[in-house]
Amino acid sequence: MKRFWKKPLIMILVLFLLYSALPINLVSAKVSVSAESAILMDQTSGRILFGKDIHKKMRIASITKVMTAILAIESGKMNETVKISPNAVGTEGSSIYLEKGEKIKLRDLVYGLMLRSGNDAAVAIAEKVGGSVDGFVYLMNKKAHELGMLDTKFSNPHGLDGNNFTHYSTAYDMAILTKYAMKNKEFRKIFKTKIHRVPQDGKDWARSWKNKNKLLFRYDFSTGGKTGFTKLARRTLISTASKDGLDLIVVTLNDGDDWQDHMNLFNWAFKTYHMTNIVEKGKISNIKSKFYRNHLYAHRDLSLPLTTKEKQGLTTELLLYRPPKNKEWHHPPSPAGKLYVHADNKQLAELPLFYHQSPKKEKKGFWSYFKQLFLTSLRVDSND
């Protein structure tokens, strides 16, 4: 602890006990998978509950389309009409059988992309949102960089294998992407849709697409997913599930028994972990430092999945910037410090905290009081 005093920081012991979890500290899991690479992540906190070669760069096949879908949704063009190009129609692999020149809403293309894994839909989306496939691929990689997907490279919007290893990701990166995408209400709706029907341009009948994700039909707690398969990537799968306030993400790469593996991981996690509310957004109390007392805030809630054992023997420390002596600190750093949670001599989690100065009371003159008196004398019916 002495090393902290050599820097403009102070270490303060917090007087209350908090629980947390660290993405790299895994509970010894009595569960296994057939996948070459796999991850089980808590959707809320990002804590990794199970992992197997999670950072191994691998081909990912059609789970690529999670990125394609979220970019389409975020484009703000979901209600716009797309005219299908010959380039989109000619895309190989799985298809929703678009026809050259037909017109269809971007939203319906995203449903076709996610439910039936249409490669033709992926190209049509890319051309609409990115102006071209190359333009869209640029957006895909830009988004990946923003999300911290450090071991990912996209070369197309659908996940088909190229001649070289130029399109790849990891189980960890795809879980990070899914965690981000699941914050979007429209993505969640599409992700869990079992059947989608859409009128076909120039036809008197509608297309009907049934989701390829069998977990939506087999597993009671399933909340969505995306399948994938190519000869080189083999079977890939992203799925999500929720129970008792615990929202989970599983990603498996090259897994011949992916349906069962996903259900096993979900069931194990639901049995082993319980979602625990740790810190509520707002003021942090019980701070000894006079400078920080009544001024330290958390900008977000902290809720984490914990085992019963993890709730015992935890200690919490607060690392804050040391305020200057004998002078005012006009611009405290942001964040002002971090809350750290430890157990078994290991850091479990951290939460940034911020300094908020209480607003000074404004001195009111005679006319201010007169105005306030006049306003309070009025009756306003909020139902008008």
Beta strands in 74-125 (DSSP E): 81-83, 103-105
Rg of the chain, C-alpha, whole Å: 26
Annotated catalytic residue: which of 65, 143, 179, 226? 65
Indicate if 382 belongs to the active site: no
Annotated catalytic residue: which of 62, 155, 169, 303? 62
Angle at 94 between CA 81 and CA 255, to 5 degrees: 125
Indicate if 65 belongs to the active site: yes
Annotated catalytic residue: which of 37, 94, 117, 169? 117
Q: Quick one: DSSP state of residue 82?
A: E
Query: Both tokens of residue 179?
Result: 């965690």
Parallel, antiparallel or unpaired: strands 246-253 and 274-279: unpaired
Q: What distance in Å separates the CA atoms of residue 306 and residue 308, rounded to the nearest whole number?
A: 7
Q: What distance in Å separates the CA atoms of residue 31 and residue 55, rounded to the nearest whole number?
A: 19
Beta strands in the chain (DSSP E): 9-13, 37-42, 48-52, 81-83, 103-105, 195-199, 206-210, 222-230, 234-243, 246-253, 274-279, 282-283, 296-298, 302-306, 315-321, 337-343, 346-355
Active site residues: 62, 65, 117
